Amino acid sequence: MGLTIHYSLGFPAKTVQQARQAVERLRQRCLDLPFAEVGALQSLEGKACDFTRCRRDDPDRWLIIQSRGSINCVSGAGGRYRAVGEDENWNSTLDLIPRAVVAFTAWPGEGCEEANFGLRLLPARLQVHTTSGEPYWLAAAKRDRGWTWDSFCKTQYANNPRCGGVQHFLLCHLTVIAVLDAARQFGFSVEVSDEGGFWADRSVEALAKEVGSWDQHLAALVGALKDQAATQGMTVEAPITERPDFEHLEAAGALNPKLRRLIETIVGAGSQQASPNTGSAQGATRSSVVAA
* 249 or 127, higher pLDDT: 127
Q: pLDDT at position 234, please? A: 72
pLDDT digit string (tens) for 168-196? 999 999 999 999 999 999 999 999 999 99
Q: pLDDT at position 195, please? A: 95
Q: Name the pLDDT band for 274 (thresholds 50, 70, 90).
A: very low
Q: Name the pLDDT band for 235 (thresholds 50, 70, 90).
A: confident
Mean pLDDT calculated for residue range 152-158: 94
Mean pLDDT of the chain: 82
Q: Is the pLDDT of residue 280 over 60?
A: no
Of the listed ranges 54-68, 92-106, 124-138, the least confidently predicted one is: 124-138
* 275 or 283, higher pLDDT: 275
CB distance 185 to 131 below 8 Å:
no
* 59 or 226, higher pLDDT: 59
Q: Name the pLDDT band for 223 (thresholds 50, 70, 90).
A: low
Q: pLDDT at position 97, please? A: 92
Q: Name the pLDDT band for 71 (thresholds 50, 70, 90).
A: confident
Percentage of residues of the chain with pLDDT beyond 70: 75
Q: pLDDT at position 180, please? A: 96
